[in-house]
Amino acid sequence: MTAEKGSRSWVESANGHPDFPLANLPLGVFSRDGDEPRGGVAIGNFILDLRAACEAGLFGGEALSAAQAASGNSLNAFFALGATARKSLRGALQELLGEGNSQRERLKGMGESLLQPMDRCQMHVPAKVGDYTDFYVGIHHANNVGKLFRPDNPLLPNYKYVPIGYHGRASTIDVSGATVKRPNGQTLPPGASEPSFGPSKRLDHELELGIWIGQGNARGESIPIGEASGHVAGFCLLNDWSARDLQAWEYQPLGPFLSKSFATSVSPWVVTPEALEPFRCAQPPRPEGDPQPLPYLYDEQDQQHGALDIELEVLLLTDAMREKGLPAQRIALSCTRNMYWTVAQMVTHHSVNGCSLQPGDLFGSGTLSGSSADSLGSLLEITQGGKQPLELASGETRTFLEDGDEIILKARCRREGQASIGFGECRGRVIPASS
């Protein structure tokens, strides 16, 4: 069964669903009423319980092995199986959930033992993250931030040769919906000669694509660029929360530390490379005069088909908006085509020194701002470092995030002849710092 436009499911809410039609089928880890977390698949307004499906004998062969690996309390074992097993499970799921399944009445009769209502379930981080690396591949964000600090030289010379990144903190990655406590730390107030300690006053969000690693590589061996895309298990949304005042004081000479490690939010569903295949596109050409990537980072197939066309959205919801019954306000609309480096180039560069990647490792793309004022993926850029407050429909203004503010990230893929798919939401609400 194909996932082309017109493919329908006997799960009625999946047909025309903005995020989870039959063409998507992302995987995640859920629980209900405090029971044990387990693997599931999003289909319309429901979660297909993979453990229940396996016990009911709904899969066979390689699809059964893949479903069993994905039915535990993390997806690491499933990620480790690689693309062949992932495709087998996807094919079986499309057959199982497709409108033409001859057993659909039996499956409907299984009710909530098979399909759990999504709004009654709790989602969890889909994999146990061993290592987390945040990249900086959003060219417009890099330029915008560089201009704030180096107006005459916004991009350092290495940017167009190296997929820049830093190692983040896996222990503070949390799933959408978890609150984000404002961090304490050292800052150097304007005009001061010594730092002070206290809550961050310049808390910010960053709009990013998350990349889940599947099969890894042995230590000391690198992943060739032509094989790198095969090491990606899926994608999510990622908010790299940032304390800009802590960052300004600490980042030289070794880069981000406490300004980033206090919180990272991810959306709960892992959208597979297969679901995104119709939305692949050519990597945008480099501007004239930019250097060609070094040979280990260049593959013609990757340049022609290695980019993704995913619409990215940021919304802000404040306490005042909630009190007035106002909806969240869109503050940015961008796209993954703003990535200067492809995902495959990120994977290859990360491993080229012999660093071993492992199933469940997580990459962040870096902030994916666009070139226009309405496509900026952080308040640092939107407000020009706090100099130009953002005006909200509620009558409020923001330079940086206040307690009670909630950032909501969304993503959508659209293409003529294909069912549109989404990622679900990545939400995080700011709560006050510890006293």
Those residues whose C-beta lies under 8 Å from the C-beta of residue 326, and which sit 6 or more positions away, are 320, 393, 394
19 is in an annotated binding site: no
The contacts of residue 37 (CB under 8 Å, 6+ apart) are 29, 30, 31, 73, 124
Residue of 211, 282, 217 whose CA lies nearest to 240: 211
User: 357-371 in b/e burial notation, b at 16+ Cβ within 10 A?
Assistant: bbbbbbbbbbbbbbe
User: How long, in residues, is the chain?
Assistant: 435
- Does residue 5 have a known ligand-binding role? no
Residue with tokens 């990620």: 79
Q: Is 84 exposed, middle or buried (0-12, 13-18, 19+ CB in 10 A)?
A: exposed
Quick check: 99 and 9 in contact, CB under 8 A?
yes
Set 17, 141, 205, 350: catalytic member: 141
Cβ–Cβ < 8 Å for 141, 339? no
Taking every pair of Cα atoms in the chain, the longest distance, rounded to a whole number of angstroms, is 75
Asked if 71 and 51 touch (Cβ cutoff 8 Å), the reply is yes
CA triple 154-156-338, angle to 5 deg: 70
Measured at the CA of 414, the angle between CA 411 and CA 415, to 5 degrees, comes to 155
Confirm whether residue 208 is marked as ligand binding.
Answer: yes
On whether 49 is known to bind a ligand per the annotation, the reply is no
Q: Cα-flanking dihedrals φ and ψ of residue 21, to 5°?
A: -75, 180
> What's the number of CA atoms in the CB half-sphere (13 Å) around residue 262?
25
Single-letter amino acid code for the residue at 377 = G
Give, rounded to a whole angstrom, the gap between the first and last alpha carbons of the chain. 57
Please say if 141 is a catalytic residue. yes
Half-sphere exposure at residue 56, Cβ-oriented, CA atoms within 13 angstroms: 17
Residue 150 is assigned to a ligand binding site: yes
206 appears as a binding residue in the annotation: yes
Contact between 207 and 282 (Cβ < 8 Å): no
| 134 annotated ligand binder | yes
Q: Provide the CB-side half-sphere exposure for 90 (13 A, CA).
A: 24
The verdict on whether residue 187 carries a ligand-binding annotation is no
Residue 76 near residue 37 (C-beta atoms within 8 A): no
Q: Which residues are annotated as a binding site for Ca(2+)?
A: 134, 206, 208, 240
Q: Which positions are catalytic?
A: 141
Q: Which residues are annotated as a binding site?
A: 134, 136, 150, 206, 208, 240, 247, 251, 260, 264, 367
Q: Which residues are annotated as a binding site for Mg(2+)?
A: 240, 260, 264
Q: Which residues are annotated as a binding site for substrate?
A: 136, 150, 247, 251, 367
